[in-house]
Amino acid sequence: MSSQDTDREKQQYCEPTYALTNKKNEDYPFDAPSIDQRLTPEQTKTNLANKIRKLLEEYSHIPQEEQSKHVHSIRDQAFAIRAYPCTGLGVWLIPYISLSPAYATIVKRLQGGDSMVDIGCFVGGDFRRLVFNGAPLESMVGVDLVSHWEVGYELFRDREKFRARFVEADLMTVEEDSGLQKLKGKMDIIHISAVLHQWDWDAQVTAVKKLILLSKPGSLVVGHQIGNAQARHVQNPALKTLLQSRHDPASFKEMWRQAGEETGTKWETEAWLRSWEFMGLDAGNTKWMEPGDAILDFVVTRLS
Ligand SMILES: C[S@@+](CC[C@H](N)C(=O)[O-])C[C@H]1O[C@@H](n2cnc3c(N)ncnc32)[C@H](O)[C@@H]1O
């Protein structure tokens, strides 16, 4: 195998190939022409669009009539960095973290001085949501393999006031990366959304063990990923993915049991499958998914 092949394999392992090139003008259904539905309460059966508008208006001081143009310009900037489907479809605007059963606990724990890291933080939208809801930002650290942090300042117009830290690093390098090493054993809350599903079972177990390195007894690991009503491996044809593991709540729990056993730690795992509708997505947004796919929402607590 040439060193170029090895590099390519390594790259596929730390992030998915479908995100790596700018897919504009190619046959790739995620460079959506309009993401206005994210801002349109009549088009989402939940209150999510109103929450998005309110954050942009009251936190970022962007008047309602300017919001559509603004979010489309941000979407294009982010899509040029990495071509994730959720980037193209404006899914990053949806305040998923606030739907977590642990959300009130997270806000309270941050107010009490807990630390939090967001792995795959993208533009830092979940942190802005928490700050808007009264959490202090002093102990927040965003981590992403590739920085979208500047785009986050543009999106939220808060360069002067948003002082959370950002580390550009690959989760898989916790033991080697100097920025990540500083977080080892120190994080009270670990958030990871729409990241783990990019890997197969073994790589997800490896990634979970990296998260465990950041944790300490009492830590919470919260987030969501694409799951399925029945645990399975998929190779999505629209994205031409490598094998990816889609968990149901039982297999997700088993993955944490395995990772806990291999690291000498104990975890309580709760996971729920949520409908696309509950998460603010419609059939058009999810037509490229596998049958039975849904969102798997999780709260995992370190017992010892
Ligand atoms: C699909 S986006 C999800 C963004 C955000 N968490 C959300 O839920 O909207 C995945 C993010 O994870 C980042 N990412 C992918 N692989 C990573 C890795 N190995 N280490 C750190 N970040 C990673 C990507 O760069 C991207 O910003």
Spell out the SS3 assignment of 118-182. EECCCCCHHHHHHHHCCCCCCCEEEEECCCCHHHHHHHHCCCCCCCCEEEECCHHHCCCCHHHHC
Q: Average pLDDT for residues 239-247, to the nearest whole number?
A: 88
Q: Average pLDDT for residues 222-240, to the nearest whole number?
A: 92
Verify whether ligand 1 is closer than 6 Å to residue 17 (CB atom): no
Q: Over the chain, what is the mean pLDDT?
A: 92
Coil, strand, or helix at residue 268?
strand
Q: How confident is the model at residue 184 (pLDDT cuts 50, 70, 90)?
A: very high
**Integer Cα distance of 182 and 297 in angstroms:** 28
**Measuring CA to CA, which residue among 38, 57, 56 is closest to residue 48?**
38
Coil, strand, or helix at residue 74?
helix
| pLDDT(182) > 80 | yes
| pLDDT(262) > 50 | yes
User: Which domains, ranges and CATH numbers included, belong to the chain?
Assistant: 3-88 (no CATH), 93-302 (3.40.50.150)
Verify whether ligand 1 is closer than 6 Å to residue 84 (CB atom): yes
**pLDDT (tens digit per residue) in 70-117:** 999 999 999 999 999 999 999 999 999 999 999 999 999 999 999 999
The preferred substitution site among 79, 148, 195, 199 for testing ligand 1, maximizing ligand atoms within 8 Å of CB, is 195
Q: How confident is the model at residue 23 (pLDDT cuts 50, 70, 90)?
A: low
**pLDDT (tens digit per residue) in 119-139:** 999 999 999 999 999 999 999
Nearest residue (by CA) to ligand 1, atom 3, is 194
Q: Provide the pLDDT for residue 16.
A: 86
Q: Provide the pLDDT for residue 34.
A: 92
Q: Report the residue count for the chain.
A: 304
267-274 and 293-302 beta bridge pairing = antiparallel
**Integer Cα distance of 181 and 160 in angstroms:** 28
Range in 63-77, 98-112, 139-153, 269-283 with the lowest mean pLDDT: 269-283
Atom of ligand 1 nearest to the CA of 171: 20
